């Protein structure tokens, strides 16, 4: 697709204009991925400040208020700036190719939905340099802390959220229109790669919940500037209403950040196990079930607000029910690997780490779902440990797996496998040293979002911070790997992974030479 009529006559646009005006899904995918990587490093910097302050008890590096700004900005930048745009970038790059479409359905809108993002995050980040200071009320921005007691910069934050939401909605409309209208002949819905399925379902989730987020920040705006009292008890409002509206967005949001990850590992594990994905249909149904259930569990974030017992029971059982389709997925990934002829290239290492550590995060989620137990865990570091196990080895490891897996396809060059494995092992060790001790801190009663703590928590915090610095530093290896790969290296052939089916595993692919039942024929291996 040509970017405009001019390009048609004067050749392709060069330099900056190429990137500003591009309507090419691959270019836009690359823009999203580079942007999300920049945000990942920025959000990681905020996290390093947090871990440095918590390295030992006592206040040493930053003021408590600045510490709160760091926790807020870290969460906002990682969720809306790193994880979500990375998945949208992968969707842009891969979905048209996976379904045989020439581009996305709405290429102009595609350009727009990317280019508003840098401005949103520039505006959010600029609050760090303002007199009033950045938002300091946590990434969940509970009212009335974020309305009555907030710094004046909260208005910038609200505008930034609106822009991110608009970007997400446009991206989702684009994905749905592309998948439903532009599949190649013969590509039925139940033949699509699972990455396409997970993104189709994610796009519907985004369209459903982004207006809810827009609604809640608009109510904040009115409480701050126009004298309303949606969340102000003194004016007849209800602070708990904020939590209900926020989490009605917020819970599906956390599934928006994990469903595309399920699609990625469902592409990678079959390739390196050299077997078809076990239980394709059940994977599609499980994804849809998770999406449906994600809408009826939101108040499990609010067990301690004083709900009626019937409400607590409903949200407890509904939350525990999500473990069933999630368990189906984990079972299918393990069954895919079972008796496969597995090799352990970097993408596969990240995918296996994903399955193991994401499952661990799922178990702690099950613990948090038990209402009376949650009364103890609530607002402790146990919750921090739980959601970071789901989001870091979950969402972020899957994005890294995808990066290594598709880099040869994107760049035409093979990445440096040695550096890739180094990046994996340092990240894997770092992430566990960072977050595993936080389970113990939480169970021992350390509250989250505090810049200082009692002496009894010192040792685990010290270990956690060391893991944090290791994990943070090792992400620079990824930057080196990607730049090296873009610039050159061994040419990637269609047969990128030795003996694998190549990059595109479709349901109609011929069976691999090493099937589930028969031992490999050495002659065939050499022929391949």
Nearest to 429 by CA among 357, 379, 377: 357
Are the beta carbons of 111 and 29 closer than 8 angstroms?
no
pTM above 0.75, yes or no: yes
Residue 524: C-alpha distances to residues 159, 270, 513 (Å): 60, 19, 7
Q: What's residue 337's pLDDT? A: 97
Residue 6 domain flag: no
13 part of a folded domain: no
Please tell me the total count of domains within the chain: 1
Question: CA 402, CA 10: separation in Å to the nearest integer?
Answer: 36
In a domain, 78, yes or no: yes
**77-102 per-position pLDDT tens digit:** 999 999 999 999 999 999 999 999 99
Dist CA 114 CA 29 (whole Å): 9
Q: Show which residues are catalytic.
A: 74, 103, 139, 167-168, 251, 253, 255, 266, 300-301, 326, 329, 448
Domain that holds residue 151: 20-524
Kindly give the parts of the chain with pLDDT less than 70.
1-12, 498-528
The answer to the question of residue 448 being in a domain is yes
Strand, helix or coil for residue 470: helix
Identify the burial level of 129 via C-beta atoms within 10 angstroms of its C-beta, where 0-12 means exposed, 13-18 middle and 19 or more buried.
Answer: exposed
278: in domain: yes
For 455-480, how does the pLDDT look when each residue is reduced to its tens digit (9 = 90+)?
999 999 999 999 999 999 999 999 99
- Residue 11, domain member (yes or no): no
CATH number of the domain that 263 lies in? 1.20.210.10
Answer yes or no: is 205 within a domain: yes
Q: Are 388 and 446 in contact (CB under 8 A)?
A: no
Cα dihedral 391, 396, 398, 400, rounded to 10, equals -170
Domain assignment present for residue 89? The answer is yes
């Amino acid at each position: 697709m040509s970017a405009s009529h001019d390009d048609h006559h004067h050749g392709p646009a060069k330099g900056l204009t190429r990137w500003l005006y591009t309507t090419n899904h691959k270019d836009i995918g690359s823009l999203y991925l580079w942007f999300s990587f920049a945000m990942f490093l920025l959000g990681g910097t905020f996290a390093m400040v947090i871990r440095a302050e918590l390295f030992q008890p006592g206040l040493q590096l930053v003021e408590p208020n600045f510490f709160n700004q760091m926790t807020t900005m870290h969460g906002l930048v990682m969720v809306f700036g790193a994880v979500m745009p990375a998945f949208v970038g992968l969707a842009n790059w891969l979905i048209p190719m996976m379904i045989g479409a020439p581009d996305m359905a709405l290429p102009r809108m595609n350009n727009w939905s990317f280019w508003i993002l840098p401005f949103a995050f520039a505006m959010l980040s600029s609050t760090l340099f303002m007199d009033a200071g950045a938002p300091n009320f946590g990434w969940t921005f509970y009212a009335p802390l974020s309305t009555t007691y907030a710094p004046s910069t909260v208005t910038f934050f609200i505008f930034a959220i609106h822009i991110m939401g608009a970007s997400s909605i446009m991206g989702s409309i684009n994905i749905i229109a592309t998948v439903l209208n532009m599949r190649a002949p013969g590509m039925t819905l139940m033949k699509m790669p699972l990455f396409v399925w997970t993104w189709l379902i994610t796009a519907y989730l985004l369209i459903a919940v982004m207006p809810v987020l827009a609604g809640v920040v608009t109510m904040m705006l009115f409480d701050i500037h126009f004298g309303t009292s949606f969340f102000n008890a003194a004016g007849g409002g209800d602070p708990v209403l904020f939590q209900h509206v926020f989490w009605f967005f917020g819970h599906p949001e956390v599934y928006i950040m994990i469903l595309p990850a399920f699609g990625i590992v469902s592409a990678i594990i079959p390739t390196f196990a050299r077997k078809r994905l076990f239980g394709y249909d059940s994977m599609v149904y499980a994804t849809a079930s998770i999406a449906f259930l994600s809408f009826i569990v939101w108040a499990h974030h609010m067990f301690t607000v004083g709900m009626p017992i019937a409400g607590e029971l409903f949200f407890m059982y509904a939350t525990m029910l999500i473990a069933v389709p999630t368990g189906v997925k984990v079972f299918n990934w393990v069954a895919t690997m079972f008796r496969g002829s597995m090799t352990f290239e970097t993408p596969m290492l990240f995918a296996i780490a994903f399955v193991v550590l994401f499952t661990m995060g799922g178990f702690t989620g099950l613990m948090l779902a038990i209402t009376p137990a949650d009364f103890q865990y609530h607002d402790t570091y146990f919750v921090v440990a739980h959601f970071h196990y789901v989001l870091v080895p979950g969402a972020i490891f899957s994005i890294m797996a995808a990066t290594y897996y598709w880099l040869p396809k994107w760049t035409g060059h093979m990445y440096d496998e040695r550096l890739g494995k180094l990046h994996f092992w340092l990240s894997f060790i770092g992430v566990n040293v960072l977050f595993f001790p936080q389970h113990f801190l939480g169970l021992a009663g350390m509250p989250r979002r505090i810049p200082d703590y009692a002496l009894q928590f010192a040792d685990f915090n010290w270990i956690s911070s060391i893991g944090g610095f290791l994990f943070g530093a090792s992400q620079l290896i990824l930057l080196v790997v990607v730049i090296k790969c873009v610039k050159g290296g061994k040419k990637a052939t269609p047969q990128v992974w030795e003996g694998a089916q190549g990059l595109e595993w479709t349901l109609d692919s011929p069976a691999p030479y090493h099937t589930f039942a028969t031992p490999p024929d050495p002659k065939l291996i050499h022929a391949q």
